[in-house]
Amino acid sequence: MSQPLFFFMGGDPAPSDQHRSDDGCLIAAVAWTRRVLEPDELLPTNPHEWIFAPCYGRVFTAKEKMSVAQWSGMIHGLHQRFGFERILLDAGAGGGGVYIKRAMMKPEQLINGAEQVVVPICDQVDGPLLVVRGQFILSMFGRGDPGVNTVWPDPTGTRSLAGDELLKDAMYSSFKEGLEHGVIVFPPDVDEMLATRRSEALAWGDERLWALKVLDAGRKQLINIIVETREKDGAMVQVFTQRGARKFQSLGKDDIALALMYSYGAFLIWLRSGDWTAAMKPADAVGFAGRATG
């Protein structure tokens, strides 16, 4: 394919100094347009004109005891490898995402065991107040984040949705829609890969093979997400909260599934942000990264 590629990250972080915390996960995904665009044609804003493929995953268990600084360094390291357009992290109180956000704003990061000077990765709420020069590509999954509000606004016109459960419902619905409309595609499952292209897969090395296993496990976790139902007049109907959101439950772990949904959320936020549609004079476009200078 000759279309430009855009990479996104979703993360369900779980920094821990003790052995009882949940697993955390980082997912990288790539997106490209379904058709080859005309020269100087703007990128389509409709998600259905895109293909979105999770292409990397890594799980960190409590055994690894990843600190906040290590999580931050890991995200910076992956950003160096992939060049993400947008990153979406869980902002839940239990996950430590807020602390990781702060750590990612530091110019020195621990990457591959060595301290490196990097351009900070910042969100759009606290970032502009704390950092002068940075990459403002981080969104925290919670009401109040500008990117999240753009994709999942409150239909009544207020800035954010009325409750966290409505936001969760909206994200689960968006991912389901993307899956059913053919936007989201997945790599093959591990068993099939090892059965049909075993030598190739074994030559990949641990990290890449584990990425395949993680993405495979993520699909299984997605299947284990259920929406609560109850019996009414002989039929099973979905249960809604007072604000009208569905109640979701996971039968088992859901760290990878959430990270997958966050990565898709990052893609949607980037798509709606319109950053890349900003008008630019032809003279200024010369030499601009990614464009031909002719």
Partner 1 sequence: MDILIPSVPPPLRITHQMWEDFLCDPVLACEVIFGIRLDAFQKCRLRYYWWVQNVIDSSGVGSGKTVVDFIFLCLRCILIPKQQAAVFYPSFGTGKNSFWEYFGSFVLSGRAPIFVAQLGNPVKLEAGDEVAGDGTLHGSDCYTAFFRNGNKLKMPAPSIALDSVRAASLTVNTLIIEEWCQIDAASDAIDKQLIDRARGNSYNQFSPLWGNHIVYSAHAQTMMHPAAARFKHHQRQVAMGNPQFANLSYSYKDFSDLKCHTGKSFKEEFRIESTIDNKRNVCSKSDWRGQGFGIWGTSGEGWFTEDALSAAVTRGKAYGILPVLSRRQFEELEQTQSTEVQTSV
| Cα 171 to Cα 261: distance, rounded to the nearest angstrom | 7
Nearer to partner 1, 180 or 284 (CB): 180
Q: Choose the binding region for partner 1 from 95-103, 133-141, 175-183, 272-280 (rule: CB under 8 A).
A: 175-183
> Burial, 203: exposed, middle or buried (Cβ in 10 Å; 0-12, 13-18, 19+)?
exposed
Pick the piece of the chain touching partner 1 (CB under 8 A) from 109-117, 155-163, 217-225, 266-274.
217-225
Count of beta carbons in the 10 Å neighbourhood of residue 179: 15
264 binds partner 1 (CB under 8 A): no
| Nearest residue (CB) to partner 1, 88 versus 211 | 211
CB atoms closer than 10 angstroms to residue 3: 15
Give the bridge partners for 52, in sequence order: 31, 184
* Position 249 contacts partner 1 (CB under 8 A): yes
Candidate residues 102, 106, 247, 253; the one interacting with partner 1 per rule CB under 8 A: 247
CA distance 103 to 74: 11
CA–CA dist 254, 214 (Å, integer) = 12
The residue (of 51 and 162) whose beta carbon lies closer to partner 1 is 51
- Three-class secondary structure assignment of 113-180: CEEEECCCEEECCCHHHHCCCCEEEEEEECCCCHHHHHHCCCCCCCCCCCCHHHHHHHHHHHHHHHHH
Please pick, from the candidates 129, 223, 235, 289, the single residue that binds partner 1 as defined by CB under 8 A. Answer: 223
Tell me, by CB under 8 A, how many residues bind partner 1: 48
Q: Which of 43, 110, 118, 222 binds partner 1 (CB under 8 A)?
A: 222
Given the rule CB under 8 A, which residues bind partner 1? 1, 5, 7, 30, 51, 53, 55-57, 81-83, 172, 175-176, 179-180, 182, 184-189, 204, 207-209, 211-212, 215, 219, 222-231, 236, 239, 247-249, 251
